[in-house]
Each structure stands twice: as C-alpha cells, then as structure tokens.
C-alpha cells in the first residue's frame, strides 16, 4: 500500500491488520482493523502515532514512508497521541533505528513511555495550548483529550491543512485496503463502517462517553477540514459526520437511544426460546425494529454494539443451577463495565426444578440505571397463558421504546 496525501506535506499511512487475534485480547476483528499513522513535513518531519509489531505493520509503515522519500531515521519528532500499545508497541525498535527522534506526549503519556518501554531520554511533555513549530509554516497544536481512550490521550491539530489527528477518537474497526478517505467509499461500504464504528465505540470507548462529549466541546471553533483518526476512515469530504456520529453514540448512554430493541437470549432445551418467540410476536405487532443475539454462540462484542444503541433490551435466559445462565451473566457484566445505561429492559426465562436467577440478576444490574418491566418466569415449557402473557410483555416493551 502507499501513503495518501491529505494536503501538501501532510500524509496518511496505514497498516491493515488481518488476523484471528483479538483486539485488546478481547474483541474479535473478523473484518480487520487499520492502524493509521500520519506524517507532517515542514523543515522538520514529524510522525504521528506508531504501530505495534502485528501482522507486519512496521514493514508496511516503512514501505509507505519510503514511497514519500522518508526513512525512519529521517523522523525528527514522534508524536504519541495515545500510549496504548496498538499505537506504540513498536516504539523500542523504532528508537533503535532512530535514537535522535524526540518523543512528544502529554505528561501522563511520558510516564507511560517510561513504564511501558523503559525509555527515559528524549521525551517532551506537552499540554493544551502548547505548539510545535516544524518550520515552513507548519505549526502543530496540542489539545489534551483525557480518557478518549486512556487518561494520557491528546489530539494534535494542524491548522494550515485543517487536519485533526485524533487517534482513537472517531475511529472504527474494519481494514481499509488501498483507500483511506471517506469520499473513496460507496454507500454500502459506509454502512459497513458505520456498523464497525459503533462496535468499536461500544467495545473500546463507551465507558468514557462523558469524556468524548468534553473532547468534542474542545474542538469548537476549529476550522476542521479533515478528521484523521488512527483506526478506520479518514474524513475529508464530510469531517463533521464522524464527529456528530460519535456525539450520538456518547449520548446513547443517557438517551435518547435508537427506538429499537436488542434481544439477547440463551436457551438450554428450547423452552426459553419458545417463550421469547411470543415476546417477539408482541414486539412485531407494535412495529418496533429489533436485533437478536444468542449467547454464548455470538461474541459479546456484537451483543454490546446492539445493546448500546437500543432503547429497549430483552434478556431471555433459563435458570441454571439456581442462578443466571452463565453466558448471560457474562454479557450483563460486560454491559455494566461498558456503561450500557438507561435502557428499558424485559427479563424472561424458563426454570427447571426451581427458579433462582432473580436475586443474582438484580444485584448484577443494580448500577445500570435500567427501567425494568415486570419479569416473567415459568416452569418448564410455557403454557398457552404464559405465551399470551409473554406476547403482552413484548407489546408493553415495544410501546415503552416508542414513547422513550
Ligand atoms: Fe487504538 Fe486505545 O488504542
């Protein structure tokens, strides 16, 4: 692949990661992910964000740099907007190739360079308002954006080209191939990246939604012509689109979420599924869109994305050994950790010889700020009256979502 020109002397480089490895060791990336880096050239040359040694990413970076006549040893400054190792894992090797490069990060970022990579020289800490003059009219400005995604995160702004280098903020899963800019992808491809940006947000960023809103506030007044994140598309035709999308995601936490219902279910021998079908019938009678995920068959990464965006949630699970169905307990725990707040929720399920999920369930959701409809449990196979009641609960949930 080659470097892409954003503007004169401003380039996007990227490594596509295509792997069965899990992102952060947790999240599947069946459609890959890109690690984007950027070059800004004045009289001095800066590289913004690095890669980890993952499916040949350093080699890709080296080749793309060579395509614009730059070697690693030509880099004067390495800006690390964020220290998570997907963007810094190769730092030790880079510094061996170019020991004179100065590393620039926030004060907290500098501490992480020391702790992760045992590098203690050639470090410069910057804060909001600080600048770096590259000569030839190129001045970089730094804006701290803590907790988007880690506490040390910052955004780099280059006003001459109007480019905002945002690292994780405004990023997405999904590899890019030979194109990087939003105007190079058709509407079907944009629909794909919208899904993968939501999943990326729900998996990686959602816990920090309040900080996303604060970071976006700090960008007011900038004449942004290009949003250049370190994962996913580079937005030059419609840079505000991804910013507005992220704001919408951030606000799902406290509403309004989408008027949709995410159904998460598990069933041991089909009785809970039979009851769920009656709930779905009720939801469909009210015409509310729904998505459905079976646990543990589907990875919680995908469950989380639909639960995060939907105003309503159905949790359908059998009682398992006096407690919750274990894969559902895990899904709820992930939703708690990722701040899937403010949902209207219906819990249903079959029990065998005795119930018992209720106590554990209520403790698990205590911090989630959910509005719970009356739950419905039944012994063994659902009776006709159980099914009628479940259908009514489906209608009730759907009406609550419509009126949210
Ligand atoms: Fe792409 Fe939080 O690292």
Mean pLDDT value of segment 230-241: 98
- Residue 392's pLDDT is what? 98
Nearest ligand 1 atom to the CA of 171 is 1
Query: Does the structure show a pLDDT above 80 at 205?
Result: yes
Asked if residue 52 has its Cβ within 6 Å of ligand 1, the reply is no
Per-residue confidence (pLDDT) for residue 32, from 0 to 100 = 98
Q: Give residue 255's pLDDT.
A: 73
| Percent of the chain predicted with pLDDT > 70 | 100
* Atom 1 of ligand 1, nearest CA residue: 168
Check if 49 has its Cβ closer than 6 Å to any atom of ligand 1.
Answer: no
State the pLDDT at residue 253. Answer: 85
Does the beta carbon of 82 sit less than 6 angstroms from any atom of ligand 1? yes
Q: Pairing relation of β-strands 371-372 and 310-316?
A: unpaired
- Is the CB of residue 87 below 6 angstroms from any atom belonging to ligand 1? yes
Q: What is the pLDDT of residue 354?
A: 73
Q: Is the pLDDT of residue 44 over 80?
A: yes
Looking at the CA of residue 204, tell me the nearest atom of ligand 1. 2
Calculate how far, in angstroms, residue 79's C-alpha sits from the geometric centre of ligand 1: 15
Q: How far is the CA of 82 from the centre of ligand 1 (A)?
A: 7
Give all strands of the β-sheet with 123-126 in edge-to-edge order.
4-7, 10-17, 33-41, 45-48, 77-79, 102-106, 123-126
Cβ–Cβ < 8 Å for 144, 127:
yes
Would you state the pLDDT for residue 404?
84
Task: Kindly state if the Cβ of 86 falls inside 6 Å of ligand 1.
Answer: yes
What are the phi and psi torsion angles at 173 (to 5°)?
A: -75, 170
Q: Is the CB of 168 under 6 A from ligand 1?
A: yes
List the domains of the chain with CATH numbers. Answer: 4-252 (3.60.15.10), 258-402 (3.40.50.360)
Q: Compute the Cα dihedral for 62, 65, 67, 69 and give only its sign.
A: negative
Q: Please write the tens of the pLDDT for every residue from 332-372.
A: 999 999 999 999 999 999 988 777 788 899 999 999 999 99
**Residue 331 pLDDT exceeds 90:** yes
Residue 341 alpha carbon to ligand 1 centre in Å = 23
Q: Name the pTM for this structure.
A: 0.96
User: The tokens 């169905």 sit on which residue?
Assistant: 325
> Whose Cα sits closest to atom 3 in ligand 1?
84
Report the nearest atom of ligand 1 relative to the CA of 230. 1
Looking from the CA of residue 150, the nearest atom of ligand 1 is 2
Cα 395 to middle of ligand 1, angstroms: 41
Using alpha carbons, list the distances in angstroms from residue 240 to 168, 174, 223, 378: 16, 20, 11, 50
Q: Is the pLDDT of residue 256 over 90?
A: no
Task: Please check the confidence at residue 216 and state whether its pLDDT lies above 80.
Answer: yes
């Amino acid at each position: 692949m080659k470097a892409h020109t954003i503007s004169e002397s401003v380039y996007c480089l990227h490594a596509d990661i295509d792997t069965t490895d899990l992102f952060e060791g947790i999240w599947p990336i069946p459609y890959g992910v890109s690690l984007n880096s950027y070059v800004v050239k004045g009289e001095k040359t800066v590289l913004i964000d690095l890669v980890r040694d993952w499916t040949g990413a350093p080699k890709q970076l080296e080749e793309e740099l060579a395509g614009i006549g730059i070697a690693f040893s030509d880099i004067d400054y390495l800006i690390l907007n964020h220290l998570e190792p997907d963007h810094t894992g190769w730092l030790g090797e880079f510094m061996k190739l170019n020991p004179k490069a100065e590393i620039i990060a926030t004060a907290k970022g500098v501490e992480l360079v020391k702790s992760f990579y045992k590098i203690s020289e050639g470090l410069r800490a910057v804060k909001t308002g600080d600048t770096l003059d590259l000569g030839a009219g190129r001045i970089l400005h730094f804006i701290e954006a803590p907790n988007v995604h880690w506490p040390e995160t910052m955004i780099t702004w280059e006003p001459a080209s109007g480019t905002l280098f945002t690292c994780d903020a405004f990023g997405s899963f999904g590899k890019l191939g030979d194109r990087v800019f939003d105007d190079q992808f058709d509407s079907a491809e944009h629909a794909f990246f919208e899904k993968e940006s939501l999943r990326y947000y729900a998996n990686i960023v959602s816990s920090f939604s309040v900080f996303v809103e604060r970071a976006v506030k700090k960008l007011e007044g900038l004449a942004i012509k290009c949003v250049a994140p370190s994962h996913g598309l580079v937005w030059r035709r419609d840079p505000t689109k991804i910013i507005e999308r992220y704001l919408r995601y951030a606000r799902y936490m406290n509403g309004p979420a989408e008027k949709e219902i995410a159904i998460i279910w598990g069933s041991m021998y089909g009785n809970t599924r039979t009851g769920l079908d009656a709930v779905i019938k009720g939801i469909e009678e009210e015409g509310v869109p729904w998505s459905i995920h079976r646990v543990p068959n589907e990875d919680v990464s995908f469950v989380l994305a639909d639960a995060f965006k939907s105003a309503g949630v159905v949790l359908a699970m059998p009682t398992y050994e006096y407690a919750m169905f274990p894969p559902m307990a895990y899904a709820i725990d992930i939703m708690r950790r990722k701040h899937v707040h403010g949902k209207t929720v219906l819990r249903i399920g079959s029990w065998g010889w005795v119930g018992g999920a209720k106590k554990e369930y209520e403790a698990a959701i205590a911090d989630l700020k959910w509005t719970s409809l009356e739950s419905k449990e039944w012994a063994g196979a659902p009776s006709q009256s159980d099914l009628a009641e479940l259908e009514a609960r489906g209608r009730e949930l759907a009406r609550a979502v419509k009126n949210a």
